[in-house]
């Protein structure tokens, strides 16, 4: 154990040493290149390499001193560009030239290298900044007055980047972003595109009367659907009831914000009172009648078209196999006993079973105004589960598959499967799942899946896009 710890520590220290040497090698190489550039008067390139050297090793004093020398020359160039723009009254160029100088100063400061910017340059910058901000502000207001909101927002963004608290720019930026959406929302209301309006006002909820308008849009966008009793087209009595129940539960849980499901008790009561037998066979007249009775804009009818359940319970079968074991055997050549692998004939049990369910459902969303089928689909699902495993009462680790004809007499026709693939298959079957999913559970899952697909399709229907 002590030897292991020593080896680990030695490996760790060697790794640290390798990183250190690589770092030193890199920083020295960069410094050497920087010096060469500096000697040629190429101080911009020299400064860049001094920075790279300091990135690799921040305590490189030679690189820091070199950056101080060459970096100040780069700074002087930035300041010269700034002063040129300042004297030419080019406030935009002046501002951004000074900001370049400021960024350069900050980059050097990271490595404790101080590059000087005389105070009077800062005074000039503040003067030019005031002029440029006023210019940008005026342009932004002009764009907003002309309702060119994107162009106005771009100018306001630039102002915020230069001086975040400048005048009322933050409020104007909010106006430039929200006013176009607000207007689109009102336009959608005018066109009776209530779902679209609801979405747009949701993005401007704190702006003007967006909250009230959004509530109004939601109210007008409501789409009441009456779900009628589903039909059974199969020979299995009441098989459609499970489909109807699954569908209704999923529909209630996952329905769109804009859909209102009319209470089923209310529907059943009206059907009984009016002595109506409305089902999947709905025409324009019955749809309109149902719409008036239920206060629905659409009827939803469903039908279990087919249901095929196949059940094969788990059945055992007795299989012939082999079990390996070790036995000592005297070796005449070495005059010693060797361990050799022997095989004995055994029986083990194999189990196999399978269940499957295949079903198809149909739904129709029917307009109560026209009797038109707004949305319909046949949705199918097939689910299957099987188990295949073996049991063995003796040494399972040494069990092998194979065949033999007589347990007491060996034969040339006996087969022992000793390959890796055969061994692995036997071990996998010994550990395999032994619980077969029932057909009832498969059916419920299949119904849930098809119901979920149907609900999603109905949710996706937008009557305002027709």
> In the chain, where are the structural domains located?
2-117, 136-220, 249-465
Of 66, 11, 79, 75, the closest CA to residue 35 belongs to 66
290/65: higher pLDDT = 65
pLDDT above 90: residue 77: yes
Torsion of CA 20, 22, 24, 28, to 10 degrees: 180
The answer to whether 211 and 197 are in contact (CB under 8 A) is no
pLDDT above 50: residue 180: yes
Least confident of 187-196, 255-264, 291-300, 392-401: 291-300
Number of residues that make up the chain: 466
pLDDT above 50: residue 412: yes
Q: What per-residue confidence (pLDDT) applies to 277?
A: 56
- Most distant CA atoms of the chain, gap in Å: 113
The answer to whether 437 and 355 are in contact (CB under 8 A) is yes
Q: Which residues pair with 231 in a beta bridge?
A: 303
Neighbour-count burial for 235-257, b at 16+ CB within 10 Å, e otherwise: eeeebbebbbebbbebbeeebbe
Q: What is the mean pLDDT of residues 27-32?
A: 90
Of 100, 55, 106, the closest CA to residue 76 belongs to 100
The answer to whether 26 and 56 are in contact (CB under 8 A) is yes
Between the two ends of the chain, the Cα-to-Cα distance in Å is: 78
- Copy the structure tokens of residue 96: 């951004």
pLDDT above 60: residue 50: yes
Encode pLDDT of 363-373 as tens digits.
Answer: 999 999 888 99
Cα–Cα distance, 285 to 51 (Å, whole number) = 83
Torsion of CA 135, 138, 143, 144, to 10 degrees: 140
Cα–Cα distance, 121 to 114 (Å, whole number) = 16
Q: CA distances (Å), 215 to each of 109, 199, 211, 212, 461, in order?
A: 55, 11, 6, 5, 21
Q: CA distances (Å), 395 to each of 190, 344, 347, 417, 426, in order?
A: 81, 12, 12, 17, 12
- Counting Cβ atoms within 10 Å, is residue 50 exposed (0-12), middle (13-18) or buried (19+)? buried
Q: Which residues contact 112 (CB under 8 A, 6 or more apart)?
A: 64
Residue showing tokens 């010693």: 336
Q: Give the mean pLDDT of the chain.
A: 90
pLDDT above 60: residue 20: no
Q: What per-residue confidence (pLDDT) applies to 263?
A: 83
- What is the pLDDT confidence band of residue 18, given thresholds at 50, 70 and 90? very low
Write the Ramachandran bin of 112: left for phi over 0, alpha for psi from -120 to 50, otherwise beta. left
Encode pLDDT of 111-151 as tens digits.
Answer: 999 999 999 999 999 999 999 999 999 999 999 999 999 99
Encode pLDDT of 296-349 as tens digits.
Answer: 999 999 999 999 999 998 999 999 999 999 999 988 888 899 899 999 999 999
CATH code that applies to domain 136-220:
1.25.40
Cα–Cα distance, 139 to 133 (Å, whole number) = 10
Torsion of CA 174, 175, 178, 182, to 10 degrees: 160
Q: What per-residue confidence (pLDDT) applies to 370?
A: 87
């Amino acid at each position: 154990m002590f030897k292991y710890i020593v080896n680990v520590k030695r490996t760790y220290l060697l790794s640290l040493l390798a990183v250190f040497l690589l770092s030193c090698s890199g920083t020295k190489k960069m410094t050497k290149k920087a010096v060469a550039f500096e000697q040629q008067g190429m101080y911009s390139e020299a400064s860049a390499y001094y920075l790279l050297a300091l990135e690799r090793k921040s305590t490189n004093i030679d690189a820091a001193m070199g950056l101080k020398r060459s970096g100040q020359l780069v700074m002087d160039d930035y300041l010269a560009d700034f002063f040129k723009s300042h004297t030419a009254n080019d406030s935009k160029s002046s501002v951004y030239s000074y900001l370049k100088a400021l960024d350069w100063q900050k980059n050097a400061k990271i490595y404790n290298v101080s590059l000087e910017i005389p105070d009077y340059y800062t005074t000039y910058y503040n003067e030019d900044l005031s002029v440029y901000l006023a210019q940008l502000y005026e342009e932004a207001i002009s764009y907003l007055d002309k309702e060119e909101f994107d162009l106005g927002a771009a100018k306001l963004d630039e102002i915020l980047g230069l001086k975040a608290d400048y005048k009322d720019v933050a409020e104007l930026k909010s106006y430039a972003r929200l006013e176009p959406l607000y207007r689109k929302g009102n336009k959608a209301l005018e066109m009776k595109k209530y779902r679209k309006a609801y979405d747009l006002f949701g993005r401007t909820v704190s702006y003007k009367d967006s909250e009230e308008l959004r509530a109004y849009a939601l109210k007008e966008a409501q789409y009441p659907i009456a779900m009628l009793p589903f039909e059974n087209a199969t020979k299995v009595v009441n098989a459609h009831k499970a489909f109807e129940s699954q569908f209704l539960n999923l529909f209630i849980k996952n329905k769109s914000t804009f859909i209102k499901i009319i209470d089923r008790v209310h529907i059943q009561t009206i059907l009984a009172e009016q002595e109506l037998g409305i089902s999947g066979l709905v025409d324009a007249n019955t749809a309109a009648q149902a719409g008036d009775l239920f206060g629905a804009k659409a009827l939803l009818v469903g039908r279990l078209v087919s249901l095929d359940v196949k059940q094969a319970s788990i059945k055992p079968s007795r299989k012939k196999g082999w079990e390996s074991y070790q036995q000592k055997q005297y070796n005449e050549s070495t005059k010693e006993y060797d361990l050799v692998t022997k095989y004995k004939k055994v029986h083990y049990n194999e189990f196999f079973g399978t269940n499957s369910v295949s079903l198809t459902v149909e739904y129709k969303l029917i307009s109560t105004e026209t009797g038109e089928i707004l949305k319909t689909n046949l949705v199918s699902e097939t689910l299957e589960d099987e188990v295949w495993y073996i049991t063995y009462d003796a040494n399972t680790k040494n069990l092998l598959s194979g065949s033999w004809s007589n347990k007491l007499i060996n034969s040339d026709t006996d087969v022992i499967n000793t390959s890796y693939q055969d061994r692995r298959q036997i071990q996998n079957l010994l550990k395999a799942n032994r619980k077969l999913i029932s057909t009832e559970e498969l059916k419920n899952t299949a119904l849930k899946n098809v119901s979920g697909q149907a609900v999603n399709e109905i949710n996706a229907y937008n009557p305002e896009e027709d």
